[in-house]
Structure 1
Amino acid sequence: MAEAERIIGTPDSPDAGAPEPEQAEKQVPEQAEEQVQDAPRGRRRIAALFIVAALAYVLDLGSKLIVVAKLEHRDAIHVIGDWLQLEVIRNPGAAWGIGEAFTIIFTLIAAAVIVVIARLARKLYSTPWAIALGLLLGGALGNLTDRIFRAPGVFEGAVVDFIAPKHYPVFNLADSAIVCGGILIVLLSFRGIDPDGSVHKD
């Protein structure tokens, strides 16, 4: 009877159906193993994102404080003749002064960009994407700070622009960070690189 139970593996046998140790190890889901391995890598990418964002934000904020204190209400400084000047203007709208009556809309857009980036950060495993999103985040925070804290009022503040190339709208370092981040995202998309680090080809 015992021999029959051993052969057919009845529930009465305590060892019936028990996997060997090596087999049990092989049954661990590969996806779980990858998640454990990717966790430190993901945290490093998130750290890179926030470091880049902090640098972009600090440089933008510091430059605005300096030019407002030193250059506002004064003649433009010619850096490269008429091709590049430093001239402080207060811009309530977007580039070329577009949308001056919709300052609060630009404020909401900047806030939405920050929220989207924060949500994407949870699935971030790509260093180039971390840099791109960090530039976007730092630039958005820089201009959002102006919208909130500068005159004429909360959520209606005018952004400080001071870099004035010839035949081009006056901009600031936050704008530069946003543009560079956007260009990098376009390049990454063309190469098929996703924020999670995977590569796809259409």
Structure 2
Amino acid sequence: MTWRPTLWLVALAVIALDQITKQWALSALEPGQKQPVLGDLLSFQLVFNSGAAFSLGDGYTWVMTIIAAAVTVGLVVFARRAQSRLAVSLFGIGLGGAIGNLIDRLLRDPGFGQGHVVDMINYNGWFVGNVADLAIVGVAAVVLVMSLTNRPLLAPSGGARDGAASAEHPSEASSPAQPADASTDSAREEPRG
């Protein structure tokens, strides 16, 4: 199970970066005030989001919390079928983003399960996001490109693990069984002496 360490290490790195930048935003930015980085194109602006992206679901924070928890579990389950280290890393990035925002939903004001997500990166006034959002959207874009170019991330469900074991050890997957007693060939040889 070589996927586990990579999945969790990548996820932890994204979670740490997300939470560190959120703490920075809370200490360095005034809510609602823009600080330009690249003119109007990109700026920092502290916003507390009770909904999902583009403030969808505003007022239904507990629903967003349940969805975030379900996505987190789904990512862990599907990561087990990842076909490559790249796929495992992508799942780790997405998992880190999902957990980063889930932490806000569970632990920030106004209360457990209804916390508002800390956002601070304003994209030309279109929307305000955070590092977790970048991770989730970035992974979604890469997965889309990979699926359009017919590069699957997941092994087929079912006997995928057996097939992988057979590919690694072809002798174990041979169809007819070899004779159990190899001495029959030596018994046919004429004794020398």
Q: Fold conserved (TM > 0.5)?
A: yes
Within a 5 Å distance, the mapping from 1:131-146 to structure 2 comes to 131-146=89-104
The CA deviation at 1:90 is 0.3
Stretches of structure 2 lacking an aligned partner (at least 5 in a row): 161-193
Select 2:82's aligned residue among 94, 100, 124.
124
Q: Which amino acid aligns with 1:95?
A: A
Q: Which amino acid aligns with 1:98?
A: L
Partner of 2:126: 168
Partner of 1:46: 4
Structure 1 stretch 153-162 or stretch 79-88: which is displaced more? Answer: 79-88
**2:119 touches 2:130 (CA, 8 Å); kept in 1?**
yes
**1:162 touches 1:172 (CA, 8 Å); kept in 2?**
yes
Structure 1 stretch 164-173 or stretch 120-129: which is displaced more? Answer: 120-129
Give the helix-richer structure, 1 or 2: 1
Instruction: Report sequence identity in percent.
Output: 35
CA distance in 1, matches of 2:49, 2:7: 28
**2:33 touches 2:46 (CA, 8 Å); kept in 1?**
no
Match status 1:111 vs 2:69: yes
- In the alignment of these two chains, the number of paired residues is 156
Partner of 1:76: 34
1:63-101 deviation line (CA, Å, top 9, x unaligned): 000110111347321111122110101000012212111
Select 1:56's aligned residue among 14, 17, 22.
14
The CA deviation at 1:123 is 2.8
The CA deviation at 1:52 is 1.4
Q: TM-score, normalised by structure 2?
A: 0.75
Partner of 1:14: none
CA distance in 1, matches of 2:21, 2:120: 9
What SS does the corresponding residue of 2:112 show, helix, strand or coil?
A: coil
Structure 1 stretch 71-80 or stretch 158-167: which is displaced more? Answer: 71-80
**1:94 touches 1:100 (CA, 8 Å); kept in 2?**
yes
**1:161 touches 1:171 (CA, 8 Å); kept in 2?**
yes
Partner of 1:20: none
Task: Note the aligned Cα RMSD (angstroms).
Answer: 1.8
1:176-199 deviation line (CA, Å, top 9, x unaligned): 00001111222222224232399x
Stretches of structure 1 lacking an aligned partner (at least 5 in a row): 1-41
Q: Max radius of gyration: which structure?
A: 1
**1:131 touches 1:181 (CA, 8 Å); kept in 2?**
no
Q: Which amino acid aligns with 1:163?
A: I
Partner of 2:181: none
1:3-58 deviation line (CA, Å, top 9, x unaligned): xxxxxxxxxxxxxxxxxxxxxxxxxxxxxxxxxxxxxxx41x33222221111111
Partner of 1:148: 106
Structure 1 stretch 179-188 or stretch 83-92: which is displaced more? Answer: 179-188
CA distance in 2, matches of 1:118, 1:79: 36
Select 1:185's aligned residue among 143, 147, 164.
143
Partner of 1:195: 154
CA distance in 2, matches of 1:101, 1:150: 15
